[in-house]
Chain A
Amino acid sequence: MTRPSFVDGFGFSEGYEMKSKTIRRWSAVHTWTSLICTVFLLLLTLTGLPLIFHHEIDHLLGDAPDVKEMPADTPHLNLQQLVEAAERHRPGEVLQYFGFEDDEPNAVLTIMAATAGTEPNSSHTFMLDARTGEALETPSANGGFMLTMLRLHVDMFAGLPGKLLLAFMGVLFVVAIVSGTVLYLPFMRRLKFATVRQNKSTRLRWLDLHNLIGVVTLTWALVVGVTGVISACADLIIAAWRNDSLSAMVAPYRDAPPLTQRAPASRLLDIARDVAPGMQPDFIAFPGTRFSSEHHYAVFMKGSTHLTSHLLTPVLIDASTLQVTAVAERPWYMDAMGMSQPLHFGDYGGMPMQILWATLDVLTIIVLGSGVYLWVVRRKAARPVLEKAESVA
Protein backbone atom coordinates (compact mmCIF):
# COMPACT_ATOMS: atom_id res chain seq x y z
CA MET A 1 0.00 0.00 0.00
CA THR A 2 1.33 3.43 -0.84
CA ARG A 3 0.17 6.75 0.39
CA PRO A 4 0.91 10.15 -1.06
CA SER A 5 4.48 10.98 -0.30
CA PHE A 6 5.16 12.64 3.01
CA VAL A 7 8.22 14.73 3.35
CA ASP A 8 8.95 16.78 6.40
CA GLY A 9 12.67 16.84 6.29
CA PHE A 10 13.12 13.85 8.57
CA GLY A 11 14.55 11.81 5.77
CA PHE A 12 11.69 9.49 4.94
CA SER A 13 9.41 10.07 2.05
CA GLU A 14 7.54 6.88 1.31
CA GLY A 15 4.05 5.94 2.38
CA TYR A 16 3.70 3.53 5.28
CA GLU A 17 1.11 2.28 7.65
CA MET A 18 1.46 4.87 10.37
CA LYS A 19 -0.57 7.90 9.34
CA SER A 20 1.46 10.97 8.56
CA LYS A 21 -0.68 13.00 10.96
CA THR A 22 0.10 10.57 13.76
CA ILE A 23 3.79 10.80 12.96
CA ARG A 24 3.66 14.57 12.97
CA ARG A 25 2.06 14.52 16.41
CA TRP A 26 4.61 12.11 17.85
CA SER A 27 7.44 14.03 16.30
CA ALA A 28 6.13 17.27 17.79
CA VAL A 29 6.00 15.56 21.20
CA HIS A 30 9.51 14.19 20.70
CA THR A 31 10.91 17.51 19.49
CA TRP A 32 9.50 19.67 22.24
CA THR A 33 9.95 17.37 25.23
CA SER A 34 13.56 16.79 24.13
CA LEU A 35 14.32 20.42 23.45
CA ILE A 36 13.02 21.57 26.81
CA CYS A 37 14.91 18.96 28.82
CA THR A 38 18.13 18.81 26.76
CA VAL A 39 20.04 21.57 28.54
CA PHE A 40 19.23 20.01 31.92
CA LEU A 41 19.96 16.50 30.68
CA LEU A 42 23.35 17.66 29.39
CA LEU A 43 24.06 19.10 32.84
CA LEU A 44 22.96 15.83 34.47
CA THR A 45 24.97 13.58 32.15
CA LEU A 46 28.10 15.74 32.38
CA THR A 47 28.01 16.02 36.18
CA GLY A 48 26.94 12.38 36.49
CA LEU A 49 30.09 11.20 34.76
CA PRO A 50 32.55 12.12 37.57
CA LEU A 51 29.97 11.07 40.17
CA ILE A 52 30.06 7.49 38.84
CA PHE A 53 33.72 7.39 39.89
CA HIS A 54 33.46 9.45 43.08
CA HIS A 55 35.23 6.85 45.22
CA GLU A 56 38.16 6.61 42.82
CA ILE A 57 38.35 10.39 42.38
CA ASP A 58 38.34 10.92 46.16
CA HIS A 59 41.26 8.52 46.48
CA LEU A 60 43.16 10.25 43.67
CA LEU A 61 42.63 13.69 45.19
CA GLY A 62 43.67 12.38 48.60
CA ASP A 63 40.21 13.17 49.96
CA ALA A 64 39.40 9.64 51.08
CA PRO A 65 39.81 9.09 54.83
CA ASP A 66 42.82 7.00 55.65
CA VAL A 67 41.62 4.41 58.15
CA LYS A 68 44.71 3.09 59.95
CA GLU A 69 45.80 -0.52 59.70
CA MET A 70 45.39 -2.17 63.08
CA PRO A 71 45.22 -5.82 64.13
CA ALA A 72 41.98 -7.33 62.83
CA ASP A 73 40.70 -8.16 66.30
CA THR A 74 41.14 -4.64 67.74
CA PRO A 75 37.94 -4.05 69.72
CA HIS A 76 35.51 -1.29 68.73
CA LEU A 77 34.45 1.47 71.09
CA ASN A 78 30.81 1.37 72.05
CA LEU A 79 28.41 3.83 70.43
CA GLN A 80 28.22 6.17 73.40
CA GLN A 81 32.02 6.49 73.37
CA LEU A 82 31.82 7.33 69.68
CA VAL A 83 29.11 9.92 70.38
CA GLU A 84 31.42 11.52 72.94
CA ALA A 85 34.38 11.41 70.55
CA ALA A 86 32.26 13.16 67.91
CA GLU A 87 31.15 15.82 70.39
CA ARG A 88 34.74 16.42 71.43
CA HIS A 89 35.70 16.82 67.77
CA ARG A 90 33.04 19.44 67.07
CA PRO A 91 32.08 21.08 70.35
CA GLY A 92 28.80 22.97 70.27
CA GLU A 93 27.34 20.79 67.55
CA VAL A 94 24.95 17.85 67.88
CA LEU A 95 24.94 14.47 66.23
CA GLN A 96 22.46 13.86 63.45
CA TYR A 97 23.51 10.51 62.01
CA PHE A 98 25.91 7.60 62.32
CA GLY A 99 26.21 5.56 59.13
CA PHE A 100 27.71 2.09 58.69
CA GLU A 101 29.43 1.10 55.48
CA ASP A 102 30.17 -2.46 54.44
CA ASP A 103 33.46 -1.60 52.78
CA GLU A 104 34.79 0.28 55.83
CA PRO A 105 33.77 -1.75 58.89
CA ASN A 106 36.32 0.01 61.13
CA ALA A 107 34.95 3.52 60.64
CA VAL A 108 31.60 5.16 61.24
CA LEU A 109 30.26 7.87 58.96
CA THR A 110 29.30 10.78 61.21
CA ILE A 111 27.07 13.75 60.40
CA MET A 112 26.82 16.69 62.81
CA ALA A 113 25.22 20.12 62.69
CA ALA A 114 24.32 23.13 64.83
CA THR A 115 20.94 21.55 65.62
CA ALA A 116 19.48 18.09 64.98
CA GLY A 117 16.94 19.54 62.56
CA THR A 118 19.54 21.39 60.41
CA GLU A 119 19.05 20.72 56.70
CA PRO A 120 21.52 18.25 55.12
CA ASN A 121 23.50 20.80 53.07
CA SER A 122 24.50 22.69 56.20
CA SER A 123 25.69 19.61 58.05
CA HIS A 124 29.30 18.50 58.48
CA THR A 125 30.26 14.97 57.45
CA PHE A 126 33.36 13.10 58.63
CA MET A 127 34.35 9.62 59.78
CA LEU A 128 35.23 8.28 63.19
CA ASP A 129 37.66 5.42 63.63
CA ALA A 130 35.45 2.90 65.44
CA ARG A 131 38.46 1.53 67.41
CA THR A 132 40.10 4.77 68.58
CA GLY A 133 37.41 7.44 68.20
CA GLU A 134 39.85 9.45 66.08
CA ALA A 135 38.10 11.82 63.66
CA LEU A 136 39.00 11.43 59.98
CA GLU A 137 37.92 14.29 57.77
CA THR A 138 36.21 13.59 54.42
CA PRO A 139 36.73 16.93 52.60
CA SER A 140 34.83 15.91 49.47
CA ALA A 141 31.65 15.38 51.49
CA ASN A 142 31.70 19.00 52.68
CA GLY A 143 32.99 21.03 49.74
CA GLY A 144 35.20 21.09 46.68
CA PHE A 145 34.89 19.72 43.17
CA MET A 146 32.93 16.53 43.86
CA LEU A 147 30.38 18.22 46.10
CA THR A 148 29.89 20.91 43.46
CA MET A 149 29.24 18.16 40.88
CA LEU A 150 26.82 16.49 43.28
CA ARG A 151 24.89 19.67 44.07
CA LEU A 152 24.65 20.60 40.38
CA HIS A 153 23.39 17.08 39.70
CA VAL A 154 20.92 16.93 42.59
CA ASP A 155 19.39 20.39 42.93
CA MET A 156 21.51 22.94 41.00
CA PHE A 157 22.12 24.68 44.37
CA ALA A 158 18.43 25.58 44.42
CA GLY A 159 17.10 23.27 47.15
CA LEU A 160 13.70 21.64 46.80
CA PRO A 161 12.56 23.77 43.82
CA GLY A 162 15.75 22.74 42.01
CA LYS A 163 15.11 19.06 42.74
CA LEU A 164 11.51 19.27 41.58
CA LEU A 165 12.50 21.13 38.41
CA LEU A 166 15.02 18.37 37.65
CA ALA A 167 12.35 15.75 38.43
CA PHE A 168 10.07 17.43 35.87
CA MET A 169 12.91 17.49 33.34
CA GLY A 170 13.33 13.77 34.02
CA VAL A 171 9.65 13.20 33.23
CA LEU A 172 10.08 15.10 29.95
CA PHE A 173 13.15 12.96 29.23
CA VAL A 174 11.09 9.78 29.71
CA VAL A 175 8.35 11.14 27.40
CA ALA A 176 11.06 12.00 24.85
CA ILE A 177 12.40 8.44 25.05
CA VAL A 178 8.94 6.91 24.58
CA SER A 179 8.05 9.20 21.67
CA GLY A 180 11.47 8.62 20.13
CA THR A 181 10.85 4.87 20.28
CA VAL A 182 7.48 5.28 18.55
CA LEU A 183 9.16 7.33 15.80
CA TYR A 184 11.86 4.70 15.42
CA LEU A 185 9.37 2.52 13.49
CA PRO A 186 8.62 4.86 10.56
CA PHE A 187 12.26 5.93 10.35
CA MET A 188 13.68 2.45 10.24
CA ARG A 189 10.95 0.72 8.24
CA ARG A 190 13.06 0.43 5.14
CA LEU A 191 16.43 0.12 6.81
CA LYS A 192 18.17 -2.83 8.38
CA PHE A 193 19.00 -2.56 12.06
CA ALA A 194 22.15 -0.53 12.69
CA THR A 195 22.24 0.92 9.18
CA VAL A 196 24.19 4.17 9.16
CA ARG A 197 24.01 5.78 5.74
CA GLN A 198 27.52 7.04 5.24
CA ASN A 199 27.51 8.56 1.79
CA LYS A 200 24.30 10.58 1.63
CA SER A 201 24.47 13.61 3.88
CA THR A 202 25.89 14.51 7.27
CA ARG A 203 22.36 14.98 8.52
CA LEU A 204 21.27 11.48 7.47
CA ARG A 205 24.36 9.97 9.03
CA TRP A 206 23.62 11.68 12.33
CA LEU A 207 19.94 10.80 12.08
CA ASP A 208 20.87 7.14 11.74
CA LEU A 209 23.37 7.37 14.59
CA HIS A 210 20.84 9.19 16.78
CA ASN A 211 18.30 6.41 16.15
CA LEU A 212 20.78 3.58 16.58
CA ILE A 213 22.42 4.84 19.79
CA GLY A 214 19.04 5.94 21.11
CA VAL A 215 17.46 2.52 20.66
CA VAL A 216 20.48 0.64 22.02
CA THR A 217 20.63 2.74 25.19
CA LEU A 218 16.83 2.81 25.52
CA THR A 219 16.39 0.56 28.55
CA TRP A 220 19.29 2.03 30.48
CA ALA A 221 18.14 5.60 29.81
CA LEU A 222 14.61 4.73 30.90
CA VAL A 223 15.81 3.03 34.09
CA VAL A 224 18.20 5.84 35.01
CA GLY A 225 15.60 8.46 34.03
CA VAL A 226 12.77 6.98 36.06
CA THR A 227 14.93 6.19 39.10
CA GLY A 228 16.39 9.70 38.89
CA VAL A 229 12.89 11.19 39.01
CA ILE A 230 12.09 9.03 42.04
CA SER A 231 15.32 10.08 43.79
CA ALA A 232 14.64 13.74 42.98
CA CYS A 233 11.34 13.38 44.81
CA ALA A 234 13.10 11.91 47.88
CA ASP A 235 12.30 14.93 50.06
CA LEU A 236 8.60 14.54 49.30
CA ILE A 237 8.77 10.78 49.85
CA ILE A 238 10.45 11.24 53.23
CA ALA A 239 7.90 13.90 54.18
CA ALA A 240 5.08 11.51 53.23
CA TRP A 241 6.68 8.78 55.35
CA ARG A 242 6.92 11.15 58.32
CA ASN A 243 3.24 12.04 57.92
CA ASP A 244 1.97 8.51 57.29
CA SER A 245 3.97 6.12 59.43
CA LEU A 246 6.16 8.07 61.77
CA SER A 247 3.56 10.47 63.12
CA ALA A 248 1.22 7.57 64.00
CA MET A 249 3.97 5.70 65.81
CA VAL A 250 5.11 8.66 67.86
CA ALA A 251 1.58 9.97 68.50
CA PRO A 252 1.68 9.04 72.21
CA TYR A 253 4.69 11.34 72.57
CA ARG A 254 2.98 14.36 71.08
CA ASP A 255 2.40 16.08 74.41
CA ALA A 256 5.48 14.72 76.13
CA PRO A 257 7.86 17.32 77.56
CA PRO A 258 11.01 17.99 75.52
CA LEU A 259 13.80 15.49 76.01
CA THR A 260 16.33 16.74 78.53
CA GLN A 261 18.32 13.66 79.45
CA ARG A 262 19.16 11.21 76.71
CA ALA A 263 19.95 7.60 77.57
CA PRO A 264 23.40 6.52 76.35
CA ALA A 265 23.60 5.21 72.80
CA SER A 266 25.87 2.28 73.72
CA ARG A 267 23.40 -0.57 73.20
CA LEU A 268 21.28 0.84 70.36
CA LEU A 269 22.53 -1.67 67.79
CA ASP A 270 21.96 -4.67 70.09
CA ILE A 271 18.44 -3.46 70.89
CA ALA A 272 17.66 -3.04 67.19
CA ARG A 273 19.17 -6.43 66.27
CA ASP A 274 16.99 -8.13 68.90
CA VAL A 275 13.79 -6.91 67.28
CA ALA A 276 15.02 -7.19 63.69
CA PRO A 277 16.87 -10.50 63.65
CA GLY A 278 19.02 -11.26 60.64
CA MET A 279 19.25 -7.61 59.64
CA GLN A 280 22.23 -5.26 59.61
CA PRO A 281 22.37 -1.63 60.81
CA ASP A 282 22.54 0.92 57.98
CA PHE A 283 22.33 4.17 59.90
CA ILE A 284 21.18 5.69 63.18
CA ALA A 285 19.17 8.89 63.24
CA PHE A 286 19.60 10.75 66.51
CA PRO A 287 16.59 12.42 68.17
CA GLY A 288 15.25 15.50 66.37
CA THR A 289 16.31 14.70 62.78
CA ARG A 290 13.90 14.18 59.93
CA PHE A 291 14.44 10.42 60.12
CA SER A 292 13.63 10.18 63.82
CA SER A 293 11.40 12.01 66.29
CA GLU A 294 12.09 14.45 69.11
CA HIS A 295 11.93 11.55 71.58
CA HIS A 296 13.45 8.66 69.65
CA TYR A 297 16.57 7.20 68.29
CA ALA A 298 15.79 5.54 64.96
CA VAL A 299 18.03 2.66 63.93
CA PHE A 300 17.53 1.86 60.25
CA MET A 301 18.13 -1.82 59.63
CA LYS A 302 18.75 -3.33 56.21
CA GLY A 303 18.43 -6.88 54.92
CA SER A 304 21.42 -9.16 54.48
CA THR A 305 20.98 -10.07 50.80
CA HIS A 306 21.83 -7.93 47.78
CA LEU A 307 18.18 -7.15 47.17
CA THR A 308 17.04 -6.53 50.74
CA SER A 309 20.15 -4.49 51.59
CA HIS A 310 18.42 -1.60 49.80
CA LEU A 311 15.25 -1.92 51.87
CA LEU A 312 15.33 -0.22 55.24
CA THR A 313 13.31 -1.06 58.34
CA PRO A 314 13.38 1.65 61.02
CA VAL A 315 13.42 0.61 64.67
CA LEU A 316 12.22 3.45 66.89
CA ILE A 317 13.81 3.41 70.33
CA ASP A 318 12.63 5.69 73.13
CA ALA A 319 15.57 8.00 73.79
CA SER A 320 15.04 8.18 77.54
CA THR A 321 14.02 4.59 78.45
CA LEU A 322 15.64 2.69 75.54
CA GLN A 323 12.39 0.74 75.13
CA VAL A 324 11.49 -0.17 71.55
CA THR A 325 8.47 1.94 70.62
CA ALA A 326 7.91 0.36 67.21
CA VAL A 327 9.48 -1.57 64.38
CA ALA A 328 8.10 0.49 61.53
CA GLU A 329 6.40 -0.91 58.49
CA ARG A 330 8.03 0.05 55.25
CA PRO A 331 5.57 1.82 53.01
CA TRP A 332 5.92 0.85 49.33
CA TYR A 333 7.21 4.27 48.36
CA MET A 334 10.16 4.01 50.73
CA ASP A 335 11.02 0.65 49.12
CA ALA A 336 10.69 2.23 45.67
CA MET A 337 13.11 4.93 46.74
CA GLY A 338 15.52 2.39 48.24
CA MET A 339 15.53 0.29 45.07
CA SER A 340 15.85 3.35 42.84
CA GLN A 341 19.11 4.54 44.25
CA PRO A 342 21.40 1.66 43.24
CA LEU A 343 19.72 1.45 39.84
CA HIS A 344 20.39 5.16 39.34
CA PHE A 345 23.96 5.21 40.69
CA GLY A 346 25.10 1.93 39.12
CA ASP A 347 27.15 1.36 42.26
CA TYR A 348 26.15 -2.24 42.90
CA GLY A 349 28.46 -4.09 40.53
CA GLY A 350 31.95 -2.76 41.07
CA MET A 351 34.20 -1.38 38.36
CA PRO A 352 32.65 -3.23 35.35
CA MET A 353 29.31 -1.66 36.19
CA GLN A 354 30.88 1.80 36.61
CA ILE A 355 32.54 1.56 33.19
CA LEU A 356 29.25 0.41 31.65
CA TRP A 357 27.46 3.34 33.32
CA ALA A 358 30.07 5.82 32.06
CA THR A 359 29.88 4.41 28.51
CA LEU A 360 26.10 4.63 28.43
CA ASP A 361 26.30 8.12 29.92
CA VAL A 362 28.63 9.27 27.11
CA LEU A 363 26.36 7.61 24.50
CA THR A 364 23.43 9.52 25.99
CA ILE A 365 25.40 12.78 25.62
CA ILE A 366 25.86 11.90 21.93
CA VAL A 367 22.13 11.22 21.51
CA LEU A 368 21.31 14.57 23.17
CA GLY A 369 23.85 16.47 21.08
CA SER A 370 22.84 14.87 17.81
CA GLY A 371 19.19 15.52 18.65
CA VAL A 372 19.84 19.24 18.94
CA TYR A 373 21.91 19.16 15.74
CA LEU A 374 19.09 17.39 13.85
CA TRP A 375 16.56 19.93 15.10
CA VAL A 376 18.71 22.87 14.01
CA VAL A 377 19.35 21.39 10.56
CA ARG A 378 15.71 20.45 10.09
CA ARG A 379 14.55 23.93 10.99
CA LYS A 380 16.80 25.33 8.30
CA ALA A 381 15.56 22.81 5.72
CA ALA A 382 11.93 22.31 6.73
CA ARG A 383 10.31 25.45 5.46
CA PRO A 384 11.10 25.24 1.73
CA VAL A 385 10.54 21.46 1.67
CA LEU A 386 7.20 21.70 3.44
CA GLU A 387 6.00 24.41 1.10
CA LYS A 388 6.99 22.25 -1.84
CA ALA A 389 5.21 19.23 -0.37
CA GLU A 390 2.08 21.25 0.23
CA SER A 391 2.05 22.64 -3.29
CA VAL A 392 2.39 19.11 -4.70
CA ALA A 393 -0.49 17.87 -2.53
Chain B
Amino acid sequence: MKPRQSNFWKVFAIPTVIAVLSAAGLFAALLGDGVWDSLS
Protein backbone atom coordinates (compact mmCIF):
# COMPACT_ATOMS: atom_id res chain seq x y z
CA MET B 1 0.00 0.00 0.00
CA LYS B 2 2.77 2.37 0.88
CA PRO B 3 4.22 2.97 -2.59
CA ARG B 4 0.74 3.76 -3.90
CA GLN B 5 0.25 6.50 -1.36
CA SER B 6 3.59 8.10 -2.00
CA ASN B 7 2.82 7.89 -5.69
CA PHE B 8 -0.47 9.64 -5.21
CA TRP B 9 1.09 12.49 -3.30
CA LYS B 10 4.06 12.68 -5.64
CA VAL B 11 1.62 13.40 -8.46
CA PHE B 12 -1.01 15.37 -6.60
CA ALA B 13 1.00 17.39 -4.05
CA ILE B 14 1.44 20.52 -6.19
CA PRO B 15 -2.02 20.32 -7.83
CA THR B 16 -3.54 20.06 -4.33
CA VAL B 17 -1.66 23.14 -3.16
CA ILE B 18 -2.84 25.02 -6.28
CA ALA B 19 -6.42 23.84 -5.76
CA VAL B 20 -6.46 24.88 -2.09
CA LEU B 21 -4.93 28.26 -2.87
CA SER B 22 -7.38 28.99 -5.69
CA ALA B 23 -10.35 27.95 -3.58
CA ALA B 24 -9.12 30.08 -0.68
CA GLY B 25 -8.54 33.02 -3.04
CA LEU B 26 -11.96 32.79 -4.66
CA PHE B 27 -13.85 32.57 -1.40
CA ALA B 28 -11.70 35.06 0.49
CA ALA B 29 -12.35 37.60 -2.25
CA LEU B 30 -16.06 36.84 -2.04
CA LEU B 31 -16.27 37.04 1.75
CA GLY B 32 -13.69 39.65 2.65
CA ASP B 33 -14.12 43.41 2.63
CA GLY B 34 -10.52 44.18 3.47
CA VAL B 35 -7.43 43.38 1.48
CA TRP B 36 -9.06 42.81 -1.89
CA ASP B 37 -10.81 46.17 -1.88
CA SER B 38 -7.53 47.97 -1.55
CA LEU B 39 -6.22 46.08 -4.58
CA SER B 40 -9.16 46.72 -6.84
Interfacial residues, chain A to chain B (CB-CB below 8 A):
1, 16-17, 184-185, 188-189, 193-194, 215-216, 218-220, 223, 305-307, 310, 339, 342-343, 348-353
Contacts and interface: CB of A to CB of B under 8 A. Distances in A.
Contact of A17 (B4, B30, B39): B4
B31 to A, nearest CB: 5
A343 B18 CA distance: 18
Contact of B30 (A184, A185, A342): A342
Contacts of A310: 30
The A interface, classified by DSSP as helix, strand, loop or mixed, is helix
A215 B15 contact: yes
Contacts of A17: 3-4, 7
Contact of B39 (A193, A339, A352): A352
Contact of A219 (B10, B23, B40): B23
Nearest to A351: B40
Contacts of B29: 348-349, 353
22 contacts: A17-B4, A184-B12, A185-B8, A185-B11, A188-B11, A189-B7, A193-B11, A193-B13, A193-B14, A216-B18, A218-B15, A218-B19, A219-B19, A219-B26, A305-B33, A306-B30, A306-B31, A307-B31, A343-B30, A348-B30, A349-B39, A351-B40
A204 to B, nearest CB: 17
B23 A306 contact: no
Nearest to B8: A185
A92 B21 CA distance: 54
A306 B31 CA distance: 6
Contact of B18 (A215, A307, A352): A215
Given A193-B11, A218-B18, A350-B36, 13 more contacts: A1-B3, A17-B3, A17-B4, A185-B7, A189-B11, A193-B14, A215-B15, A218-B22, A306-B30, A307-B30, A307-B31, A348-B29, A349-B29
The 10 tightest CB contacts between A and B, nearest first, are A350-B40, A219-B22, A193-B14, A215-B15, A219-B19, A349-B29, A188-B11, A17-B4, A307-B31, A306-B33
Contact of A184 (B7, B11, B18, B31): B11
Given A218-B15, A219-B18, A306 B32 contact: yes
Nearest to B21: A219
A343 B31 CA distance: 11
Interface of B: 3-4, 7-8, 10-15, 18-19, 22-23, 26, 29-33, 36, 39-40
Contacts of B18: 215-216, 218-219
Contacts of B14: 193-194
Contacts of B31: 306-307
B15 A220 contact: no
Contacts of A353: 29, 40
A348 B40 CA distance: 9
Contacts of A339: 30
A121 B35 CA distance: 38
Nearest to B27: A343
A264 to B, nearest CB: 36
Nearest to A18: B4
A70 B33 CA distance: 29
A352 B26 contact: no
Nearest to A305: B33
B26 A220 contact: yes
Contacts of B19: 218-219
Contacts of B30: 306-307, 310, 339, 342-343, 348
A349 B12 contact: no
B36 A185 contact: no
Nearest to B12: A185
